[in-house]
Amino acid sequence: MAENPFFAPSDLPYELPPFAEIREEHYLPAFERGMAEQLEEVEAIAGSSEPPTFENTITALERSGRILDRTTTVFFSVASSNTTDGIMEIEKQISPQLTRHSDAILLNRRLWERIKQVTTDDPEESWLLEKYRQDFIRAGADLSEPQQERLRELNEELSRLSTEFAQSLLKATTESALVVTDPKELDGFDEAKIESLRKDDGTYVLPLLNFTAQPGLSQLTDRDVRRRLYELSVGRAPGNFAIAAKMAALRAERAALLGFPNHAAYVVADQTAKTVEAVEEMLGQLVGPAMRNAKKEAEALAEQAGFPIEPWDWPYYTEKVRQARYDFDDAAMRPYFELNRVYRDGVFFAATKLYGITFTERPDLGGYHPDVTVFEVSNEDGSPLGLFVLDPYARPNKRGGAWMNNLVDQSFLFGTKPVVMNNLNVTKPASGPTLLTYDEVTTAFHEFGHALHGLFSQVRYPRVSGTKVPRDFVEYPSQVNEMWATWPEVLANYAKHHETGEPMPAELVEKLKAAETFNQGFKTVEYLAATLLDWAWHKLAPGETVEDPEAFEAAALEAAGVAYPLIRPRYRTNYFAHIFSGGYAAGYYSYIWSEVLDAESVEWFKENGGLTRANGDHFRRELLSRGGSLDPLTAFKNFRGREPGIGPLLARRGLV
């Protein structure tokens, strides 16, 4: 069976997965062998006749499941970025099996008895030991046999529903796409954009992006086309409402089994927020000011339009007001944001200034698609750090949004260096250079912040490597990295005209900055509405069922004080992938929770002179390199020198 590339470690540099050799038929056998191998390893640990020690129990568990780990990592990366019907079929089949497998470990009584007896004096070890204890307790290790049986059923059913939700959403991006036959209806788009939407049958197809306010809404001049696009967006994948309601009910039941009043309480218990009250207190401080700002913005938009606007008009007139007020024009900026330059002279440049690291393209190393580029990253002294893999373009078989994932975790235990990956969803032009919007530039810096968190990891155990920190902490380093997108020295270095090489004119730069706080009312309300919707679904009491999910959604927004016909949540229930097919259930609040830390840290960088090696080193040493190997708030305090406060965040969003 040596021909299955998952059975042995990759012999490519940095153990980069050998994508060229991996075929669809390798996955199932690798999953099966990987699970069987790990169960044997776990049995050996649980059945050992020696007294339990950290080494023969926790470290042994960390060492287990190598084949499964390699397979899972590659499979889910490809399933997200470059899926096929075959992969989707495997995913359906394997997801419940993987859940059953992890239950078989976490609900293994003999193993749990041994873990409970392990002791250690080493701080990193005892932090990891506590993580393991929490993992087992939270998975139901202390429950009775019949309770565990029910828990297994719930987990499997939830994992099946979550896959179903994701797959129907992926189909909806094309099935609910806006289709027009007359290109005049696309007035507002430039010619290259229109050309890129043309299909062989002569129609024009604008696929949906994964959030409510489609980018096309800000450009399309035909009001009725905007309405159609908006309605397609908010109405997509209607079958997902029922799936979501079912999942929320099952999660509530599971939370009750584990001794929590609802799923939200269960989730936040092992986050930095810790309690439902802490989250609600923070969100409560934002709703009033955000709604006031949004309503003020709506007045300005109606004035610009000359009539009462509808939700599909908001982005369009926002652009108009933005142009009138700041003379800001996204289209005028784009020639200065050429993809390669944004990375090499912007994202990478900032990282070199801060951390001394350098990037070399490795055309000899490839990904799963010709558009994927691999870079080798080195420290200032030339020592190897890891690989950075970039997949920038949207494809019909790629899920929406932007994200970072690890292909290889850094760990001293295995001597592995990190291989990290960023995915974006930039539309690939039919020909010529790829010009980004300002939002896409910010996203590139954001995702690279996650990549740095993975690349700088300096920990012993894979369980706490790099970005393996609580959900409400993980967005923090990536948000901090966004600050460099408009840092003068960085911006001047990458924002150059793609044809002439001329730097972006000073007045455009000024406008870019002046417009930064613009439309914050909309953005904050759109985000808060999604957060509070997530919260409502996951505060359902056990036994409570939702018959009419759309009515539930409306009532939840009303109750939270964010029901506003002009601004729907950034994600409605039917396409809220973060919470129904990603890991963010009762965790969407994390973005703003992390932003508290982010705003504090941006302030620290500014207080200390900004883009310097000394600042970069301090952030890298105290925060980025620690991964999840210590209490995240302790790492924050070691970096910042004080407890976080909400002040800098409110000021930044114009909410004071």
Least gap, CB of 518 to Zn ion (angstroms): 22
The alpha-helical segments, DSSP class H, found in 66-139 are: 66-81, 85-106, 109-117, 123-139
Interactions with Zn ion, residue window 451-480 (CB under 5 A): 475, 478
Binding track, positions 369-408, relative to Zn ion; x by CB under 5 A? ----------------------------------------
In terms of CB distance, is 446 or 539 closer to Zn ion?
A: 446
In terms of CB distance, is 163 or 594 closer to Zn ion?
A: 594
Interactions with Zn ion, residue window 528-557 (CB under 5 A): none
DSSP letter at 540? P
Rounded to whole angstroms, how far apart are CA atoms 293 and 322?
15
Q: What is the CA radius of gyration of the chain?
A: 25
* Phi and psi, residue 301, nearest 5°: -70, -40
Least gap, CB of 284 to Zn ion (angstroms): 24
Rounded to whole angstroms, how far apart are CA atoms 129 and 124?
9
In terms of CB distance, is 475 or 595 closer to Zn ion?
A: 475
Least gap, CB of 446 to Zn ion (angstroms): 6
In terms of CB distance, is 260 or 571 closer to Zn ion?
A: 571
Helix axes 276-305, 590-607, angle to 10 degrees: 80
Least gap, CB of 600 to Zn ion (angstroms): 18
Interactions with Zn ion, residue window 309-338 (CB under 5 A): none
Helix axes 549-559, 240-257, angle to 10 degrees: 70
In terms of CB distance, is 478 or 573 closer to Zn ion?
A: 478
Least gap, CB of 564 to Zn ion (angstroms): 26
The CB-nearest residue to Zn ion is 478
Least gap, CB of 170 to Zn ion (angstroms): 20
In terms of CB distance, is 71 or 524 closer to Zn ion?
A: 524
Rounded to whole angstroms, how far apart are CA atoms 110 and 265?
29
**CA-CA-CA-CA dihedral for 472, 478, 480, 481, to nearest 10:** 180
Interactions with Zn ion, residue window 473-512 (CB under 5 A): 475, 478
Least gap, CB of 450 to Zn ion (angstroms): 6
Instruction: Give the type of residue at 313.
Output: D
Q: CA separation (Å) from 546 to 242, 245, 248, 350, 508? A: 9, 6, 9, 49, 50
**Is residue 590 at the binding interface for Zn ion, with CB under 5 A as the rule?**
no
447 catalytic? Reply is yes
Beta strands in 1-55 (DSSP E): none
Using left for φ > 0, alpha for ψ between -120 and 50, and beta otherwise, residue 259 falls in left
In terms of CB distance, is 112 or 445 closer to Zn ion?
A: 445
Rounded to whole angstroms, how far apart are CA atoms 205 and 408?
37
In terms of CB distance, is 7 or 588 closer to Zn ion?
A: 588
In terms of CB distance, is 54 or 403 closer to Zn ion?
A: 403
Rounded to whole angstroms, how far apart are CA atoms 392 and 409?
22
Least gap, CB of 478 to Zn ion (angstroms): 4
Rounded to whole angstroms, how far apart are CA atoms 270 and 75?
28
Binding track, positions 105-144, relative to Zn ion; x by CB under 5 A? ----------------------------------------
* Of 125, 447, 526, 600, catalytic: 447
Furthest-apart CA atoms within the chain: distance in Å = 81
What six digits make up the tokens of 212? 């409510």
> Residue 187: beta bridge partners?
189
Number of residues engaging Zn ion in binding (CB under 5 A): 2
- Mode of pairing for the β-strands spanning 178-180 and 373-378: unpaired
Beta strands in 296-395 (DSSP E): 358-361, 373-378, 384-393
Nearest to 64 by CA among 353, 414, 327: 414
In terms of CB distance, is 253 or 595 closer to Zn ion?
A: 595
Using left for φ > 0, alpha for ψ between -120 and 50, and beta otherwise, residue 434 falls in beta
Least gap, CB of 427 to Zn ion (angstroms): 20
Interactions with Zn ion, residue window 237-256 (CB under 5 A): none
- Mode of pairing for the β-strands spanning 384-393 and 419-426: parallel
Exposed / middle / buried, residue 234 (Cβ in 10 Å: 0-12, 13-18, 19+): middle
* Phi and psi, residue 200, nearest 5°: -60, -30
Tokens 């302030």, residue located: 603
Least gap, CB of 421 to Zn ion (angstroms): 13
The contact set with Zn ion (CB under 5 A) reads 475, 478
Q: Which residues are catalytic?
A: 447
